[in-house]
Structure 1
Amino acid sequence: MNNSDAVGDSTKFEFTIPDQLYGQRVDKALATLCEGHSRSTVQTWIKQGLVSIDEETPRQKDKVYGGEHVEIDVPEIRQGEWEPQNISLDIVFEDDDMLVINKPAGLVVHPGAGNPDGTLLNALLYHFPNNRSLARAGIVHRLDKDTSGLMVVAKSEAARLGLIDQLVDHSLHREYLAMVNGRVISGNTVEEPIGRDKHDRRKMTVSMMGKEAVTHYRVDERFRNHTLLRVQLETGRTHQIRVHMAYVGFPLVGDPVYGRRLGIPADSHPDLEAALRSFRRQALHATRIEYQHPIHGELQSWQRDLPEDMQTLVAACTADYE
């Protein structure tokens, strides 16, 4: 175990899977690393969605390969320290059991190193105080700080577990809009495993030692030097769209980690040059989400258009192409 912090009768574990556990099941590996906790206890944590491996919710039978970053929040862990904050939320849907939220770019989902507050979690505790009783205040999945778009959040424990089940078996569907550098001729599927970059732990990379990752994309609109893509995921690996699109040679506009240096195409329209210089995030928006309601089973689908900054980017690309 690399690190653990006791808070009352609960503990937060945070560590990296050692290479010597390569090939072991997640539950077995974590039981080995979480001293004093049985394999059955670890399995319960996994089932309850309290375990995050590279920011994803694993299954018990998944394999580890070494180098994965693990966080485990046992119930009530640190939640007394989280402060409710009056941060506005764009609520698309709400009932007694769950929410659908349209997250703006720039909003961190969960407190962490460098972002102790000012997050979606802090906002949830302010607007929905009862969510304090839920692990991660009802948050069951994440979007990167600078990715905008739709997220589901639980308001009851039954809904939380139901949504986690759909995330694990990939029956919760998400569609993204992404503006990429380059002219994509046609849609395609990227099937390349993704793992953590051994040279830079903040990055992910295509690696044969990584986890299966499948990304489908099709052209929504093509411009002179850029393409707006619709992207669907079969898997939900950390930074998956950003890594896969960079891998096939079409990195996202504005991506500070996987993108190119700012390159203004020759003879660009002035609006495009200005838009590219001012666009400071990956051009990625979770535009559509579909799931079965975790309580009554109704199929629900929600969609939100591009935020203003990406609309401006599309308009500039259009002006450049005309």
Structure 2
Amino acid sequence: MSNPSETRQPQTQRFGLLWPDLNDGLSYNDVVRSSDSESTLIEFYSSKYKNSAPLQGWVQRIENGQIRVDGTVVPDPETILRVGSELVYHRLPWREPDAPCLLEVLYEDGDMIALNKPSGLQVLPGGLFQQRAVLTQLQWQASKKQEPHPVPVHRLGRGTSGILLCAKTKLAKTRLAAYFANGTSYIEGNRKTNMEMCGTRKITKIYRALVTGLLDEDKVLIKQPIGMVQYPGVAKGLYVASSSGKPALSKVDVLERNMQGNNTLVQVEIQSGRPHQIRIHLAFIGHPLLGDPLYVGGGQPMCFDPEFVDGSFAQDGGYQRPTKPVPGDCGYFLHAHQLILSHPTTNEVIKITAPLPSILQTQDEAKEIRIN
């Protein structure tokens, strides 16, 4: 195997604007269809978007003037809707939870850019974080340069740090997304024809993680399938270890055991990209990530209790945040450390490395950094 070329920036490049106190809110558009004719405004929203707010919450939103019908604010929940009417619900601006804003550039060329994503920053807008996301910073940065913004081609959990790969062209986006969809493995050779590359996985993802307990074996291969279950506070469902789920494969190598702290530093190479795969797989073998608030032994969530408490959406009528952990909660130690891939247009093999947080360094690595 030829040595991959590891391109380093001549000096560290960082970008990121401070987040405003409040975001801009959100607007949701609908058109009344024949199946909804003669429905009232409250019937439409409380039935179609019952996961967003309870009945009284939608009443509050309507009476608060947050819904327009054909461009006019309609504060009466009992208004009868007509087929073809355009509805717009405006979610009020809110202060999103604290999140980092600074992004480090690890690699960049005309086709792609690799960023070092900090823990605590979401990749794409969603849930509480509709503005405070990597995509927003990419949009702001591109607008200053008056050019199209790069697009992430995969995701990292909000609590996961490390390499996030983004495409700058449509061709790069298509090919890189295909790499991730096809799984990962080491690439043999740095130049191959299209025929030779057919069926060959062209990307390798290597992570560092700190897990609870001491792994007995130095190497572990985890093949546990990952599926989905319903879970309070997660509208589309929660990914868990499930015998009926989709195949997933993780290779785990022990780097260092901390006898006193009863934890183990591991390297994980994933050859599939299921959501929360590393967190689920390590929990499945009885060694969940240290500090993971959600996944426990067996690769299952800590609790299914649907209890609610006061939260960020109370003033806007929406459901309040569950007391129990959800996937976006942070606290664990997981870092996308290395990415080895075939360049989407040149086929050159490129290795990208994100500096390790101190807690995920071996003793020898930490010592070498102190000496240097």
Give the TM-score band, short-chain normalised.
Answer: 0.5 to 0.7
The answer to whether the Cα contact below 8 Å between 2:341 and 2:351 also exists between their aligned partners in 1 is yes
| Alignment partners' CA distance in 2, 1:173 and 1:249 | 25
Specify the code of the residue in structure 1 equivalent to 2:128: G
Matched, 1:180 2:194: no
Deviations along 1:127-152, whole A, 9 cap, x unmatched?
22389857xx5111010001001111
Asked if structure 2 preserves the Cα contact closer than 8 Å seen for 1:131 and 1:138, the reply is no
Question: Matches of 2:270 and 2:127 in 1, distance apart?
Answer: 28
CA distance in 1 between partners of 2:109 and 2:101 (Å): 20
Does residue 193 (structure 1) correspond to residue 244 (structure 2)? The answer is no
Q: Which residue does 1:302 correspond to in 2? A: 352
- Given the alignment of the two structures, is residue 150 of structure 1 paired with residue 163 of structure 2, yes or no? yes
Q: Residue 286 of structure 1: SS of its match in structure 2? A: strand
Match of 2:256 in 1: 221
Partner of 1:34: none
1:198-227 Cα offsets, whole Å, 9 max, x none, are 355453211122111111101111111111
Residues 234-253 of structure 1 mapped to structure 2, 5 A cutoff: 234-253=271-290
1:117 maps to amino acid: Q
Please list, as runs of the form range in 1=range in 2, the aligned pairs for 1:15-34 lying within 5 A after superposition.
Answer: none
Contact 1:124 1:131 in 2 (8 A): no
Partner of 1:23: none
Distance across 2 between alignment mates of 1:294 and 1:219: 32
Deviations for 1:26-52, whole angstroms, at most 9, x for unmatched residues? xxxxxxxxxxxxxxxxxxxxxxxxxxx
The structure 2 residue matched to 1:105, chosen from 87, 99, 119, is 119
Matches within 5 A, 1:235-314: 235-259=272-296, 281-308=331-358, 310=360
Structure 1 pair 163–149 and aligned structure 2 pair: CA distance change class (3 A):
same
User: Counterpart of 1:241 in structure 2: which amino acid?
Assistant: I
Structure 1 or 2: more helix by fraction: 1
Distance change in 2, residues 1:122/1:160 (3 Å)? same
Amino acid aligned to 1:253: L
Q: Which amino acid in 2 is paired with 1:147?
A: T
Does the 8 Å CA contact 1:253/1:259 hold for their aligned counterparts?
A: no
2:174 to 143, 146, 161: 161
Distance 1:149 1:131 in 2: 27
SS in 2 for 1:241: helix
Give distance in 1, aligned partners of 2:146 and 2:135.
9
Give the conservation status (yes or no) of the 8 Å contact 1:96–1:155. yes
How far is the alpha carbon of 1:297 from its aligned partner? 1.2
Once structures 1 and 2 are overlaid, which stretch shifts more, 219-228 or 122-131? Answer: 122-131
Question: How far 1:305 moved relative to its partner?
Answer: 3.0
Amino acid of the residue matched to residue 132 of structure 2?
A: G
Instruction: Tell me the number of residue pairs that the alignment of Structure 1 and Structure 2 aligns.
Output: 214
Relative contact order higher in (CA < 8 Å, ≥ 6 apart): 2
Deviations 1:251-305 (A, max 9, x none): 10010111489xxxxxxxxxxxxxxxxxx61111111001111111111011123
Distance 1:93 1:131, change over 3 A: farther
Give the share of equivalent positions with the same residue, in percent.
32
Q: TM-score, normalised by structure 1?
A: 0.61
Distance 1:285 1:94 in 2: 20
CA-based RMSD:
2.7
Q: Distance in 2 between matches of 1:113 and 1:217?
A: 32
Bigger radius of gyration, 1 or 2? 2
| Residue aligned with 1:220, SS | strand
Which sections of structure 1, spanning at least 5 residues, go unmatched?
Answer: 9-85, 262-279
CA distance in 2, matches of 1:87, 1:253: 25
State the one-letter code of the partner of 1:116. Q
Secondary structure, in 3 states, of the residue corresponding to 1:160? helix
Q: TM-score, normalised by structure 2?
A: 0.53
Partner of 2:138: 124
Q: Is the 8 A contact 1:125 1:132 kept in 2?
A: no
Residue 290 of structure 1 contacts residue 301 of structure 1 at CA under 8 Å; is this kept in 2? yes
